[in-house]
Amino acid sequence: MEDPGFLVLNKPPGLLVEPLPGEEGHEITLVDLVSDQLRFTPGRVARVVHRIDRDTSGLVLVATSIRMQAALKGQFERQTPLRLYLAVVHGRVEPDSGPWRDRIVWDRDRLVQKRAHPREERGRDAQASYRVLERFPSATLVEVRLATGKRNQIRYQAGVRGHPLVGERIYTFGAATEGAWPPFPRQALHAWRLGFVHPATGRPVTVEAALPGDMEALIGTLREAAPPAR
């Protein structure tokens, strides 16, 4: 989706949203691609509003001015945008829906989220809710609605509950995922619906991105492995 003040882009897996600190220019990022697209439009620049992980696919919001970025970021800071993700996780998730609430802190040395001590000053609340969409013999398709938007949040919160994402390499918390079936080259996570208020018009904006081919194929494989209904 393109608007004079922002772009909503469907990012493929494997692409960074913006350069990692100290690694500017080392590889092409989503911001580089958008900046290249906007270079012939005076006054428009690429300014990231929110991020998703390199190997997560789906919707990313990029403002095209500093003023629009500030207005949109304000909504995310107030936790008002709708952010829905689709994830395939290991195991059978019970019950059918519920909240995920954790206190986490970013480990600056290991570059991962971890559980925060109750008195940890840098600790932050991570809140989300999930809903089971489909169950398979060895995995579950869930929809996750983010309230907060912490780095690696869904990956951490699913893993710490004993249901790491299929393809997850970091947030497994001792679960036996090495060589687990079915194999998948990335975490099975897709940002599929994004909703927010247009800062200029006050009207709601909702954008959806269909599942990418690799996750469609993964779900198809899991369905084929399911026993026939009786």
- Known catalytic residues are 53
* Mean pLDDT, all residues of the chain: 92
Question: Among residues 55, 137, 57, 52, which one has the least CA distance to residue 90?
Answer: 137
pLDDT tens-place string over residues 206-220: 999 999 999 999 999
From first CA to last CA, the distance across the chain in angstroms is 44
pTM for this prediction: 0.93
pLDDT exceeds cutoff 60 at 229:
no
Query: Any residues with CB less than 8 A from the CB of 223 and at least 6 apart, and which?
Result: 136
Write the pLDDT tens digit of every residue in 104-124: 999 988 889 999 988 888 999
In-domain check, residue 212? yes
Q: Please report whether residue 66 resides in a domain.
A: yes
Could you tell me the residue range of the domain that residue 151 belongs to? 2-225
Residue 230 in any domain: the answer is: no
On whether residue 102 sits in a domain, the answer given is yes
Q: Among positive and negative, which fits the CA dihedral 32, 37, 42, 45?
A: negative
Is residue 93 included in any domain, yes or no?
yes
**What pLDDT score was predicted for residue 23?**
61
> For the residues of the chain, what is the DSSP string, one character each?
-EETTEEEEEEPTT--SSPPTT-TTSS--HHHHHHHHHTTSTT---EES----TT-EEEEEEESSHHHHHHHHHHHHTT-SEEEEEEEEES---SSEEEEEEEEEEETTTTEEEEPPTT-TT-EEEEEEEEEEEE-SSEEEEEEEESS--TTHHHHHHHHTT-PBTT-SSTTTT---TTPSSP-SS--EEEEEEEEE-TTT--EEEEE-PPPHHHHHHHHHHHHHSPPP-
Instruction: Answer whether residue 38 is part of any domain.
Output: yes
Q: In the predicted model, is pLDDT for residue 230 greater than 60?
A: no
Residue 184 tokens, joined:
């998948």
* CA proximity to 182, closest of 199, 201, 167: 167
Structure confidence at residue 20 (pLDDT): 75
pLDDT for res 99 = 98
Confidence of residue 227 (pLDDT cuts 50, 70, 90): low
Q: What is the pLDDT of residue 165?
A: 97
Confidence at residue 22, expressed as pLDDT on a 0 to 100 scale: 63
Determine the pLDDT at residue 42: 82
> Where do we find the tokens 């309230």?
147
- What pLDDT, on a 0 to 100 scale, did the predictor assign at position 82? 98
Q: Lowest mean pLDDT of 17-31, 76-90, 130-144, 177-191, name the range.
A: 17-31
pLDDT at 228 over 60: no
**148-186 pLDDT tens trace:** 999 999 999 999 999 999 999 999 998 766 667 788 999
Counting the structural domains of the chain, the total is: 1
pLDDT in tens, 55-77: 999 999 999 999 999 999 999 99
Of 26, 28, 32, the C-alpha closest to 45 is 32
CA–CA separation, 211 and 224 (whole Å): 18
Here the CATH number for the domain that contains residue 160 is 3.30.2350.10
